[in-house]
Amino acid sequence: MKLTGSEIVCEALIKEGVDTVFGLPGGAILPFYQTLSGYPQLRHILVRHEQGAVMAADGYARATGKVGVCISTSGPGATNMVTGLAVAMMDSVPIVAITGQVARPAIGTDAFQETDVTGVTLPVTKHNYLVMNAADLPRILKEAFFVARSGKPGPVLIDIPKDVQTELADFDYSIELDLPIQTPILKGKDSDIKKAIKMIEKAERPLILAGHGVILSQAYEELKEFSEKSQIPVVTTLLGLSAMKSNHVLNLGLPGMHGSAFANKAIDEADLIIAIGMRFDDRVTGNLKTFATKARIIHIDIDPSEIGKNILPEIAIVGDAGTVLRQLLPLSPKKTHPKWLQEIDQLRINHPLSYPETDRILPQFIVEEISRITKGQSIIVTGVGQHQMWAGQLYEFKDNNLFISSGGVGAMGFEVPAALGAQVGQPDKVVWTIAGDGGFQMTLTELATMVEANAPVKIALINNFSLGMVRQWQELFYEKDYFATLYTGNPDWVKLADAYGIKGIKVTEKDGVETAIEQAMNTPGPVLVDFQVDKEENVYPFIPPGGGVEQLIEYPDTKVV
């Protein structure tokens, strides 16, 4: 069957189970767009910026477990995708990005809107392709989706010259892949499993450190059963939040730079750490020399390059988090650790997660109220900064895979497009984005996309008129020299929301918080709530960069939450 390159792409997307793509057209991708209009099975959502396309595809992928797909034209369209690709690469999110390129004869001539996109995106993709023949498209598309979702997931980019999109070629999607890559190892070695079980049997103060890999493998029940069977408490990395329900008695929540004091102190006292699907990021470990010095380490990860990169484990198990947990479960000892659990209970009492009791509007109170009113069942999408940490600390996730955020890259502006993508992927879920006024202004153009796509995202704007996290560091480490962090030109957010056709609500008093959240929940369509919070509120606890638990700063004179 002879098809044009553009038709081949559309047919392949359908065969890969794609139902939604996020994109923005331009000259070099126009042949594909003219073809896409004839495929009603593929819903196209028109974003207002190509960065929004990638981040929306990212939110969609995380919320659904499917591969997210985004599309742009050549040159500036493609380079606008780089930040989103970097986020997906660092956070292991499966995305296929399709970009237009100038026609083959013009490549290398500095033609209008020509950029070496494969060269530019090489460091921020798992793999990328420049397609020089339409006949190669079926194989390349099949490979791209396989690579994006297999092993440690990640983004793949396909750059297609304009004339390749119109070239005729045979379409056969039954081809067998012959990739020069090692098939991902899913199952741990039996010998390593047995060694790990012996170590677990001997441990008196064991701790599980669960990361994003647990969510990617959807190993929620396995993690819960493993933790319960051997009575091992669980701490979760930022991207591991909601891998275990927040109200589970064995869940200690978030560790690290802004994690709870009791979670960090539990890590410090543990004699065994079982790290599952996490990479010992510096925001978790702080100073590597002082991290978990009393603990032996078992590290489970599907990516062998992550094991030993930062922390050298005593036992390394290369494999998928869910598969390895299923191997461990029947062999794991049925144990209790009453003394250890009592120690942790005492740590909770002595070092509670807390914030001040005050009549001022504090961000922590807003997050708690959103958690209470949504009953812990909403998908929470954040940007990066103080609001992200408060959301991670205080929202009580009563179900799995409810937290979406930019982790490793820490990209401000992630919140709006990613929330759009999550809502499109999970239309029956309530999606809240907890946003900072700094990052929100970077991608707020996607409010128009939310309206057009009928995506009823609820936006909690934590408006402190500053780049809050940077301002906090300036306060603590730079003698309160607040250079370039305080805003004097924020817009009237209610008027801005109205301009986009969105309901806007302004909250300036604490007693208006509950009403505003409930009003947002009961209003059809997107809603923007401008919470004008205390401008100088900081995130605590706080371990200074490069420090350890001994440098942890707790919040003095506070209300226990």
Residue whose structure tokens are 């033609």: 111
How many Cα neighbours within 13 Å face the side chain of 179? Answer: 16
Q: Which of 112, 357, 477, 550 is catalytic?
A: 112
- Whether the ω angle into residue 541 lies within 30 degrees of 0, i.e. cis, is yes
Q: How far apart are alpha carbons 190 and 167 in whole angstroms? A: 51
How many Cα neighbours within 13 Å face the side chain of 542? Answer: 16
Amino acid 436 reads G
Residue whose structure tokens are 């499966």: 94
Specify whether the CB–CB gap between 308 and 179 falls below 8 A. Answer: no
| 450 a catalytic residue | no
| 101 a catalytic residue | no
DSSP sequence for 201-235: HH-SSEEEEE-HHHHHTT-HHHHHHHHHHTT--EE
Phi, psi torsion values for 306, nearest 5 degrees: -80, -25
Spell out where 86-167 has E strands. 95-101, 127-130, 155-161
Q: Which of 11, 16, 50, 167 is catalytic?
A: 50
- Cβ-in-10-Å burial (0-12, 13-18, 19+) of 458 comes to buried
| 162 a catalytic residue | yes
Q: How far apart are alpha carbons 340 and 205 in whole angstroms? A: 6
Q: Which of 113, 218, 426, 519 is catalytic?
A: 113
Q: How far apart are alpha carbons 524 and 521 in whole angstroms? A: 8
Q: Which of 66, 126, 152, 162 is catalytic?
A: 162
| 1 a catalytic residue | no
Q: How many CB atoms lie within 10 A of CB 69?
A: 26
Q: What is the DSSP letter of 552?
A: P
| 113 a catalytic residue | yes
Spell out where 35-177 has E strands. 43-46, 68-72, 95-101, 127-130, 155-161, 168-170
Structure tokens at 191: 């010998």
Q: Which of 55, 389, 442, 469 is catalytic?
A: 469
Q: Which residues are catalytic?
A: 50, 112-113, 162, 469
